[in-house]
Structure 1
Amino acid sequence: MSRLVMKFGGTSVADLERIRRVGRLVAAEVAAGHQVAVVVSAMSGKTNELVAWTDGAGAAAQGLEPSDDEYDVVVASGEQVTAGLLAMTLRNMGLPARSWMGWQIPIVADDAHGRARIDDVPPENLVAAMDSGQVAVIAGFQGVTRDGRIATLGRGGSDTSAVAIAAAVSAIRCDIYTDVDGVYTTDPRIESKARKLSKISYEEMLEMASLGAKVLQTRSVELAMAKNVPLRVLSSFVEPGEAPGQGTIVCDEEEIMEKRIVSGVAYSRDEAKITLY
């Protein structure tokens, strides 16, 4: 059986009904014969709420240096809630599932709390669970330092978690489910003629992400390119089988038959241009 990693962002797991839809998408991949690991973000808005709590209760309220390690303990809890809820949902659907925290795998990270980078992901525990038929539901965004403290990976870190897991278990692909159905030539909300790309190279996706495209976190694309993990960006707002062949594959340039001079246009709302005469 081939292994597949599925990652769901905050809008995809924003409430229980959406979590149930995620459960149906996961069940469809299991039925298709895949061994599945699922990486989840916190429910939409939850991380911002947790950060606000740390600001109110922490050192910032007293003008002191923040306790970054305790900050990570608080903000990492959002993903833990989602992982538990999805694992419960999958069990209620008759699938063997179990939630995994970053320290249980473990996802070993450095001690740069709030912006940690992954050092290693020993695959033995996850591979054994997946080989036994279990769906592994993993809390994204979090790892553990070598001295046993929780460390978070920064905003968008669940994408990086998913790619690291996919590389560790030798997955055939890492599917990134979002609120869009792929990568477009530009933002379709601004330009009605924007077209969805069937494939885009790591290098092109990395450049677009660094210039403002918010589909994938830059670090996750860098890691996918380094480990040669194929990515697929697709929508979670469909039922299984509703949109066959949907999404955009992010892959090595050699896998794209006909090269394009320009693949897409990114933009930033946070910049202004001033011309002096």
Structure 2
Amino acid sequence: MPLLVMKFGGTSVADLDRIGNAAAKVGREVERGYDVIVIVSAMSGKTNELVGWVEGTSPLYDAREYDAVVASGENVTAGLMALRLQEIGIPARSWQGWQVPINTTSAHGAARFVSIPRENIDRKFAEGMKVAVVAGFQGLSHEGRITTLGRGGSDTTAVAFAAAFGAERCDIYTDVDGVYTTDPRICDRARKLHRIAFEEMLELASLGAKVLQTRSVELAMRYNVRLRVLSSFEDTDENSGTLVCGEEEIMESKVVSGVAYSRDEAKITLFTIED
């Protein structure tokens, strides 16, 4: 069966109603004939809450225990998403990082992928599972400890799974309906881009555009994973959102694709100073 990876961010799974909405989108892809790997973030605000609990308990915390606590947010979402999919008649199972397993380095709080073996999930697909709901943002070190990938790690998890499983596409569902030429909340002339090249998206992400995490774009470019940015809150079709792809898929590229900005910089000019 063709395979699709779908990732839902924290705002897309912020409560049970939104988890139900996301599950309905997954169900439509299953009806189209796809096996689906769903990557989920923690429910909106939960990761900050968990971090606060750790820091409130132990200001000089053990990074290994920090990861064990903070990774639990994604585990809750994965279980709830799998339950919701089962309720609408879709065979689904939740997967934590150690169950796949998602093998990573031992850099707690900033781990990087080593490998994602396919055998366990492929076997369940062969047995009739249609959707694997994987907790994003987490993995397993070679010492057998839970690790986390750093903020935005669920985007990177989704791209890594798309690369490892040879997915047709990786759809990133978020609270915006695509990549814009600049922030539409600041500039009312901002336009949504239908397609953008990996290199251009990487530049925008590294310079402040928050629609995609920088590491996820780097990984997508390395393994040529086609990304699509979509809104969780709108009906979508094959023409929705923004496709992030190789330059060869873009007929005519623009000199300037977009403008990123930063609110965290100041300019100081010194006068009457000799060269």
Q: Secondary structure at the match of 1:188?
A: coil
Letter in 1 for 2:141: T
- Given that residues 37 and 130 in structure 1 are in contact (C-alpha distance below 8 angstroms), is that contact kept between their aligned partners in structure 2? no
Look up the match of 2:249: 255
Q: Any idea what SS the aligned residue of 1:103 has?
A: helix
* C-alpha distance in structure 1 between counterparts of 2:199 and 2:63, whole Å: 33
Instruction: Give, in angstroms, the shift of residue 124 of structure 1.
Output: 1.4
Query: What are the superposed Cα offsets for residues 152-188 of structure 1, whole Å, 9 maximum, x if unpaired?
Result: 0000000000111111111000000000000000000
**Which residue does 1:231 correspond to in 2?**
227
Contact 2:30 2:130 (8 Å CA) reproduced? no
- State the partner residue of 1:28: 28
How many residues are aligned here?
270
Does the Cα contact within 8 Å between 1:177 and 1:234 map onto a contact in 2? yes
Q: Which structure 2 segments of 5+ residues have no match?
A: none
Instruction: Tell me if 1:72 matches 2:59.
Output: no
Question: Which amino acid in 1 is paired with 2:27?
Answer: A
Summarize the alignment of residues 4-153 of structure 1 with structure 2, pairs less than 5 Å apart.
Answer: 4-58=4-58, 60=59, 64=60, 66-131=61-126, 132-153=128-149
Native 8 Å contact 1:23 1:90 kept in 2: yes
**CA shift for structure 1 position 126:** 1.7
> What TM-score do the two structures reach when normalised by structure 1?
0.95
Match of 1:189 in 2: 185
Structure 1: 4+ residue segments shifted above 4 A = none
For normalisation by structure 2, the TM-score amounts to 0.96
TM-superposition CA deviations, 1:90-130 (whole Å, max 9, x none): 00001100000011111100000001001111111122223
**Mapped contact 1:126–1:169 kept (Cα < 8 A):** no
Higher mean displacement: 106-115 or 130-139: 130-139
Separation of aligned partners in 2, 1:228 and 1:244:
19
Give distance in 1, aligned partners of 2:120 and 2:196.
33
Distance 2:122 2:219 in 1: 20
Determine if contact 2:93/2:129 at 8 Å carries over to the other structure.
no
Alignment RMSD (CA, Å) = 1.0
| Letter aligned with residue 139 of structure 2 | G
Aligned to 2:152: 156
- Alpha-carbon distance in 2 for matches of 1:29, 1:183: 22
Specify the SS of the correspondent of 2:173: strand
Distance 1:160 1:274 in 2: 37
Identity, % of aligned pairs?
Answer: 66
1:273 aligns with 2:253: no
| Deviation of the 1:244 alpha carbon | 5.5
Deviation at 1:148, TM superposition (A): 0.8
User: Aligned letter for 2:171?
Assistant: D
